Structure 1
């Protein structure tokens, strides 16, 4: 079983309009509402790949109830900590005429010592059942920057392998706890080493440097260009299949889901990367995060190239 932790869960709502203009009345042509947050997207993809998933984190109010109900409908076991307030809504307004996207992101509820103690207990309990625990997404207001580092230790002490997909200081501090996987994108990888950007040869060098600090799997995702990874002492270049992408939102979460489920299945490094890249590519062909067509995923598996460096 894969356990996911989403500390700042959200209702992801997308409005599709034609000719969006600020200050004017807009008619919504169609809308989508999904349980969101990076960890919840991972859980949804794990289920679509055929795995079992349980999700924890913080939920609050009516939006929190929506998140839990929709995840349960997808076969994801809910183990959320209910707290006061209201889970956030993240609104994406897509102008179908121009293709432009405008996002409005709420902050979500604030947590304190009592809530933090509860989530540590919830992670501890799930980790005792899980093969892999995925910690991902932003931290809620009130949480310390080193919370992920602490949760890595909590999950590992219960016997699980721990994946961390975060950014900024939360990721930098989390790496010190030596998670089993990190998945920075190209910009996040550069920021980890104090650079504005990295040239192609530096991507592999930086992944190897972070691997040497104790992270067993460092996977730097490069969008449609695939990924560079350093895993168990070996470097790989992942060449993703060419697809007709609809949206890149959630593709990184699909990559993490593929890695986690492949890890649970005991696949070797190349097999894990192949499954992850195929899941990300299949997810790019849908219009919502945490979604893919399993038949498309199976077809794309044969098109992913994993080249040792």
Structure 2
């Protein structure tokens, strides 16, 4: 089983507008809403790839109930910790005329000390029966900046392979617990080492430095439409994905993490795992919803992913 952790779960709403002029009334003709947050996006794609998954994290209020109900309808198991307040709504406004995406992200509820302690036990219980634990996204209000350190340690001690996909202070502290894998972008790599990354050679050197400094097994750096760079203990792989018509970039990184988690749980080779993860991320970019892939398109893309060992 794979467990995904979303400490700041959300309802993701996408509004499709012919144009989005500021300071004027815009009537939404079409929209969709789905349970979201980075870890929940991971769970949705893991489920679509046919692997058992359980989603956990914090949810609150009526929005939290909607998140759980929708996951149940999707056939995704969940085991959340309920908190006071309302889970957030994340709004993505797509301006079809200009091809732009504007995101409005609510902060979410403030989590109590008791809920933080309950989550630690929840992670311990789930990690004991999971091959992979994916910790994704921002920390909720009320959580200490080093909260991921404790969660990574708990999951590792319980025998799970731990993937951490966070940013800012959450990543900076969380990496100290030496997760097995992280998935930063170029800017986050530079920030972790407090350096400038001028080109791919510098990026590769920086990623290898991080890998060895924190004794990790794998670091995958997202390069957007240009693909990704993955470092492991015995080398680096540069992955190139096929050019596609991009519909929505939200959730592509989460889909990549889902593909990587499934490949690890399925004990695929690194090369096959990178192809699976890259195809999942690219397939998500071709759909309107975050955490959504087309199985037929995914299989086609999987065969088209190219990679070289550097």
Normalising by structure 2, we get a TM-score of 0.97
CA distance in 1 between counterparts of 2:216 and 2:116 reads 25
Runs (4+) off by over 6 Å: none
The answer to whether the 8 A contact 2:197-2:203 is kept is no
* Gaps in structure 1 of 5+ consecutive residues: none
Paired with 1:127 and 1:276, the residues of 2 have a C-alpha distance of: 22
Q: CA deviation at 1:232?
A: 3.2
Alignment of 1:19-98 (within 5 A): 19-98=19-98
Q: Which runs of 5+ in 2 are unaligned?
A: none
Task: Give the secondary structure class of the aligned counterpart of 1:98.
Answer: coil
Contact 1:211–1:233 (CA<8 Å) still a contact in 2?
A: no
Q: Residues of 1 paired with 2:30 and 2:291: CA distance?
A: 19
Helix, strand or coil for the counterpart of 1:302? helix
Contact 1:182 1:219 in 2 (8 A): yes
What residue in structure 1 maps to residue 112 of structure 2?
112
The residue matched to 1:16 in structure 2 has which SS?
strand
Q: Does 1:184 align with 2:184?
A: yes
Alignment RMSD (CA, Å): 1.1
What is the CA–CA distance in structure 2 between the aligned matches of 1:198 and 1:45, rounded to whole Å? Answer: 33
1:103 is paired with a residue whose SS is strand
Number of residue pairs the alignment of both structures matches: 309
Query: Structure 1 length normalisation: TM-score?
Result: 0.97
Secondary structure of 2:124 counterpart: helix
Distance 2:198 2:284 in 1: 26
Do residues 269 (structure 1) and 270 (structure 2) align? yes
1:112 deviates by 2.0
1:88-138 Cα deviation digits (max 9, x unpaired): 001112222222222211110001210100110111111011100000000
The equivalent of 2:126 in structure 1 is 126
3-state SS in 1 of match to 2:239: strand
Q: Which residue of 1 aligns with 2:10?
A: 10
Contact 1:240 1:305 in 2 (8 A): yes
> C-alpha distance in 2, partners of 1:103/1:228?
27
Shift of 1:161: 0.6
Return closer, same or farther for 1:198/1:37 CA change in 2, 3 Å cut-off. Answer: farther
Moved more, 269-278 or 97-106: 97-106
1:247-286 matched pairs, under 5 angstroms: 247-286=248-287
Tell me, in whole angstroms, the C-alpha distance in 1 between the residues paired with 2:226 and 2:135. 25
* 3-state secondary structure, aligned to 2:70: helix
How far apart are residue 196 of structure 1 and its match? 4.6
Q: Where in structure 2 are the equivalents of 1:118-157 lying within 5 Å? A: 118-157=118-157
